[in-house]
Amino acid sequence: MYDMGRQTGLRKDLARRLWNGLGFYLHARVDQKPHHAAKLRQKLEKVLPRLEEFREDRIIVNGFDRRTTSKCQDCGRSMSRRLGAVKDNPYMNCPSRKCGAIYMITDVDGRRARWDLVQENLKCKKCGADNWLGLHVWKRGAHENAMLACSGCSTKYQLFEYVLVKEAGDDASAEPPA
């Protein structure tokens, strides 16, 4: 292994704060007044210690890959993902802790992506209606033993969260009972 150096990650919010704090001094003032050298010095003395941790870095990885964005279908929160990361893991959870919707992102053409909510269907045994729900709703409902009503006939179904363990015999490949 060859040690090429180190790279310290710079958070986007920190970079924005530093840039906005010093950006005022990078341009001539609109009101034609001179910049206050004392205020600039005070800003620099505040910023420089924050930048010291990056001084020894020898590797620059920008992470400015193309991004895909979408709004959560459940809670409306904005979501964003680097297209390069989609290749490694196509699934993403909504960042809202209260929501947690799960999406599968499909790279369409290297510049755009399609966001599909991961869903499961409850086919009503009474009327045959399809009841598609996000997997996050199923998981949360099972954890809370929630009741679901069929969209077609209002038949009630209760969700349960459990683990089924049974002896594996000759019919080991058989499906567990419903």
Instruction: Report the distance separating Cα 139 and Cα 160, nearest Å.
Output: 9
H helices present in the chain, as ranges: 12-23, 37-52, 83-88, 135-143
Most distant CA pair in the chain: distance in Å?
88
In the chain, % of residues over pLDDT 90: 39
pTM: 0.56
Angle at 97 between CA 91 and CA 100, to 5 degrees: 35
pLDDT in tens, 98-122: 999 999 998 767 667 899 999 999 9
Burial 5-16 (b: 16+ CB within 10 A, else e): eeeeebeeeeee
